[in-house]
Amino acid sequence: MTKKDRVAIVTGGSRGIGRAISERLAADGQTVVIAYASNAVEANKTVQSIVKNGGKAIAIKTDISDEVAVSKLFDIAEKNFGGVDVVVNSAGIMGLNTIANFDLNKLDQIIRTNIRGTFVIDQQAARRVRSGGAIINLSTSVKKLALPTYAAYSASKGAVDAISLVLAKELRGRDITVNAVAPGPTATELFFEGKDEETIDRMAKMNPIERLGKPEDIAEVVSFLAGPGRWINGQTIYVNGGMV
């Protein structure tokens, strides 16, 4: 099976890093099923961009923490395109504050989306991805920095790493790879939100290349893992320009 035969589900695929991943996999020849949480306008823009460039894509509104909704997402992919070969879970939310002052309701939301959502997506992926496929979960490089205010987000992504590495071993004999990709600071709306220019400039210079990552930088690594990168399995890959 070549890339052109493969079908990919990308959660959070309508904006930011997720959109870049969706567009890159489509450019590789994969059919892309984009799962989005609420923004139908952006999801449809992504689909239109892919189709305009000769690719195939559809968008499905999905709550990734809801096992019934996720099962339906996979049903739709299988019904329309015959199966699922690649699952990229890039959906996630962030909340920043000190541990002492963190809103526990926000903590519950982060846990539900980032941890439960990853678990639910991976559960269906483990049951349905075809032999020769790949499961890729988005983590974060910020775990290694121990930055103040990032405790909740970092903890949730630490769980993503753990789920990914365990699943890789659980799928022994299936010829399915499972990896986590951990971006560094990347130029997306989510990253810029609430940050002043000084903070953005400081974080951009934390890596020796001295720039922010671009969504396309992350998509390039995901493309490799989703296609030819068959001998990389059970790893967390840090994509951050050498920041840590």
Q: What is the pLDDT of residues 138-175, one digit of tens each?
A: 999 999 999 999 999 999 999 999 999 999 999 999 99
Tell me the three state secondary structure of residue 35. strand
177 pLDDT band, cuts 50/70/90, is: very high
SS3 string, 62-111, reads CCCCCHHHHHHHHHHHHHHHCCEEEEEECCCCCCCCCHHHCCHHHHHHHH
Put the strands of the sheet holding 84-89 in their side by side order: 57-61, 31-36, 7-11, 84-89, 129-138, 177-183, 236-239
> What is the helix (H) or strand (E) element at residue 119, kind and residue range?
helix 117-128
Single out the catalytic residue among 36, 150, 153, 238. Answer: 153
Q: In this structure, is residue 28 part of a structural domain?
A: yes
Mean pLDDT across the stretch 44-58? 97
Average pLDDT, the chain: 95
Bridge partners (DSSP) of residue 168 are none
CB-side exposure of 96: number of CA atoms within 13 Å?
12
Q: What is the per-residue pLDDT for 212?
A: 95
Mean pLDDT across the stretch 227-232? 96
Mean pLDDT across the stretch 49-69? 97
Residues present in the chain in total: 244
DSSP state of 24: H
Q: Where are the alpha helices (DSSP H) in 129-241?
A: 151-170, 189-192, 197-204, 215-226
Q: In this structure, is residue 222 part of a structural domain?
A: yes
Q: In this structure, is residue 87 part of a structural domain?
A: yes
Q: Is 153 a catalytic residue?
A: yes
Tally the domains of the chain: 1
pTM: 0.95
CB-side exposure of 85: number of CA atoms within 13 Å?
21
The rounded distance, in Å, linking the Cα atoms of 31 and 194 is 35
189 pLDDT band, cuts 50/70/90, is: confident
Domain extent, residue 162, equals 3-238
Q: In this structure, is residue 243 part of a structural domain?
A: no
Cβ atoms of 235 and 137 closer than 8 Å? no
Bridge partners (DSSP) of residue 135 are 87, 178
Q: What is the per-residue pLDDT for 4?
A: 60
Q: In this structure, is residue 244 part of a structural domain?
A: no
Mean pLDDT across the stretch 103-116? 98
Looking at residue 231, which CATH number applies to its domain? Answer: 3.40.50.720
The rounded distance, in Å, linking the Cα atoms of 101 and 179 is 33
